[in-house]
Structure formats: C-alpha cells, structure tokens
Amino acid sequence: MDKKFIFVTGGVLSGLGKGIAAAAIGALLESKGLKVTIQKLDPYLNIDPGTLSPFEHGEVYVTDDGCETDLDLGHYERFTHVRTCIDNNYTTGRIYNNVITKERRGDYLGNTVQVVPHITDEIKEAVKSAAKQEYDAIIVEIGGTVGDIESLPFLEAIRRFRYDVGRENVLYIHLTLVPFIKVAGELKSKPTQHSVKELREIGIQPDILLCRSEMPLSQEVKRKIAMHCNLDEYSVIAAVDVDTVYEVPIWFRSEGLDKQIEKKLNLQLPEANLVVWEDVVRRIKMPKEVANIAIVGKYIGLKDAYKSLIEALIHGGIANDAKINILWVDSEEIEKKGPENMLFEVDGILIPGGFGNRGIEGKIMSARYAREKKIPYFGICLGMQIAVIEFSRNVCALSANSEEFDPDAKDKVIYLMEQWYNHRTGNIEKRTKVSQIGGTMRLGAYPCILKEGSKAHEAYGVTELSERHRHRYEFNNHYRDILISKGMSITGLSPDGELVEIIEIKDHPWFLGCQFHPEFKSKPINPHPLFKAFISASIRERRSLFK
C-alpha cells in the first residue's frame, strides 16, 4: 500500500483544536490497524519553542531525542503509539535556516533563492522526513489559520505535494467553526463558507470538513455547508464539544469520519475498535474516588503552560478510578498568606517545573507544609530542587539556595551543571554561565537506576528506566551525605551514580521529587507509574482525613 498523507488545516480562528483533531484521527486509524505518525508544521520564525515564554506559547514538549517542540506533539503521543522526534515538528525558522545553510554551502548552484520553489520544496522535504519509516499514514497539522500571511508557504507546499505523491495518496481535512448564535437560536455556516473559499483561492479543495460546534449539526445544516463548499454532505463532520478530549475519537467514528477517510483514500480497513477509549471515557465520567490536588506555580493564569501535567494527573485519576480536582495556587500568594491558609483542604501538593526566582519562597513554604503535615508531595524538575532546598534549610540548618536564584548563596545545594555524558551521542556535553540559552539544557531521555525498596521502585516495578529531562541545574553532590544523614533518601541515580534523579523522605507517607518530567510519557491508556502512585497516596490521605 502506498503511504497516505493527511493534511489538517484550520480556519476562521485559532484555538479550535487542530492538534486534538489530528491526534484523534491518528487514534482512529490505529484502531483500524494502520501504523501512523503525526507531524506539526509551525509558521513562526523561532527555530523551536525552547526559548518562548509559556505565556506566549504554552508548554514546551520534550521528545526522547531532546527536541523542544510544540505542545501538540504531546497530544499526538497521548492519543497514539507515535514516539515523536525532531522530524515531527518543523517551524518556519528551521525551514529558512536549512535553506540559508544550503545557499551558503552552494547547494543551489548560483540560483536566486526564493520562497517558491526553494522554501516550499524544503517544506515538502520536511514532510517526507516524517515518512522515512514504514508508516501507512502520515498526518500533518498545519499551524496557524488559513488567511495568515505566515501560513502561505506551507499551504502552497501541501497544495503541490498532491502532485508529487499522487492525488489518490493525499487528503485535505479542514477544521472550521460553526458558531451558535443564541439570540437567533441557530447555527451559522457563513464563517465556514468564507474559510473554505479562502482555502480554495490558494488552490486547495478540502476533502473533508470538521465543523467545530457547541452542538450536533442537523442534516439540513450539513447539506447547506456541503453545497457552498463543493462537497457531499457526508464529508461534513460535526466536531462538537465533548466532556473529555479522549471522547473525540469515539465521536468522530459516530460521525463516520473513518469511513470517509477510507473512501477518499481508497482504503479497505476493518471496523474501528475503540474499546480502550470507551473504557477511558467511562472511568473519567464515572469515578469512584476524588482527589483534590494543588498545583503550586507561577504560570497558573495560562493552563496550557502545564498541559501535559494536567493530562498526566487525569491519567493518574483514570488508573485509580478517581476524579481529579485541580486547585491552581499562585506561589506568590502563598508568600503573602501562608500555606496553611491556602493548602489546608488539599489531598496532595505538586510543584512542577519552571524557571526564574519569582514565587520561589512560596514554593519552598509549600514543600515544608507538605513535609511537616505529611501531605503527599510530588516535585517535578524545579519541584524536586525546591524540596532539596527546603529540607537543607529547615532540617539540615544550611543557608541553602539554588545557584539559579542566588549565585552568592553560602550553600548552593542546587548548582549549574557544566558538563554531563550524553548517552545518545556518546559525547560529553559542556555548558558555562555564558552559553547561549537555546538548546543548551540537559534535554531528552536519559537512563535512571532505582534503589530497591523505595517508593519510586514500588511505583515503577523495575530498577532501570528512561525519562525525559529539560533542566540546567542539578543536585550538588557535595551535600549528599548530610541530607541522607538527616532523613532524605536518594532513590534514583544516573547509571554512573553522579546525577541525582529522584529524592524521597523516609518518614513520610509519600514525598518524592524527580529531576525529570514524567508527565511527557503518560498516556490515558498507560498512565505514568509516578502519577498513579501520587494519586493513590492522595486518595489515602483523603480517606484518613474523613475517618
């Protein structure tokens, strides 16, 4: 079978959920026996989102190979068996950088380098790079909105792509909006008509429309949209709001999206088997337990900054048949009001990754509150470092801080890691205080060895594992002995024993910090072991309070 390419574009406005749509299509095709991969093409000039503010871009998702990517790649991995890498995310900046590098090298033999054909050809090569392995279907999400100037080279590239691989091997799916006007009491199709008109002016006739709406579309509305958009009514698919994103593949199947994809790509596939997704949705909608989890951070105004974290907590809830109520707590407010006034009703406290010293003291106060009140605590990346600083100050009586927050601190229990072994390349990576910011962290998957009998070992059930990292600062081994002597356990180490990956506190029901980001490897059908264990401990804490 020839490889099939499915391009997902969006119109009317941003934020309609192209990433979820692409991921759900991937889940549908996998359930029918196809091997899929999904790629995101982002129309901004940054090489990658690694240096973008979370307020600007949301979460930076890290792949196994150390690529800093768009948060939509997290959706792709959570919905499918795709293991993303550097080939799954291209930006305009990376495309232009590749073209300029080739021009400087003389690859274009003196030709005038232009957007068409050189930039568009490079975009097509980027799409083909994602298809190098033995995939049956390659789903490509085009970032931005049809009509944006920055998206034009990508749309021109995918228009021409159909002629490169054959019309029968390419499918265009356009996600658009059909708003419901409450005063008029009706759905309006005009924005969709204009969006498709704009796409057709570029030269792309969408094969399938996904119409985002608050409610199902009647056949009359579908026929109207189909007539004005040069489609048959069965190619107009309602993409309604659902209770959980993991219900989207089930909804798409009920709308016949899988059948339309089969028909238009000349495929003959078995019926979609979505039993696992139906079980996931059932567990989310009908939980038996409840856990109130506080996330103490500084980006709480923008939930997308913690997208994978939120989903991983939901996955932990799925594993424990529990509904997760997330309480967003501003760490600066804790500095003003105290943790006892803001965290007294929670069953578990989680401090996620982050950068900079704003709100740090509030996080340290939260870690102390969790330790002293025996509340389950989960520190991720910076959250682990916070736990180390708190324990060093209040148990070991050190004048402790991180070199990141106070370069002149007497006891730098967390310090800048200037070199480390990269097991993927076999090289010693080096970095100094004056190194550039972008791409200089310890990034990607690294191995970890667990201490038997620890909470971490109990959760994982294995002694060797691999987790993804994104950080510059590390536990300072100079303080390892004193922290251990005072009751902290170091239960996860790099294979050479040099880098501390996991810490725990002995006389506590569940207090664990990890230097890596476990949320990047959690899936609804395979929740991460640490999130399962954290939610389980939080439920036990809740039960003990109600006794």
Q: Give catalytic residues, as residue numbers.
A: 381, 517, 519
Bridge-based pairing of strands 427-430 and 442-450 is unpaired
The type of residue at 446 is Y
For 273, the token pair is 């088997």
Neighbours of 51 (CB within 10 A): 15
For 75, the token pair is 């959706």
Helix/strand/coil (H/E/C) assignment for every residue in 45-104: CCCCHHHCCHHHHCCCEECCCCCEECCHHHHHHHHCCCCCCHHHEEEHHHHHHHHHHHHH
For 95, the token pair is 């495309």
End-to-end CA distance of the chain: 61
Residue 104 and residue 52 in contact, taking contact as beta carbons nearer than 8 Å: no
Q: How far apart are CA 58 and CA 55, in angstroms?
A: 6
Q: How far apart are CA 258 and CA 261, in angstroms?
A: 5
Q: Please give the radius of gyration of the chain, using alpha carbons only, rounded to the nearest integer.
A: 25
Q: CA neighbours within 13 Å on the CB side: how many for 115?
A: 10
Question: Which three-class secondary structure state does DSSP give residue 481?
Answer: helix
Question: Which three-class secondary structure state does DSSP give residue 368?
Answer: helix
Q: How far apart are CA 491 and CA 511, in angstroms?
A: 12
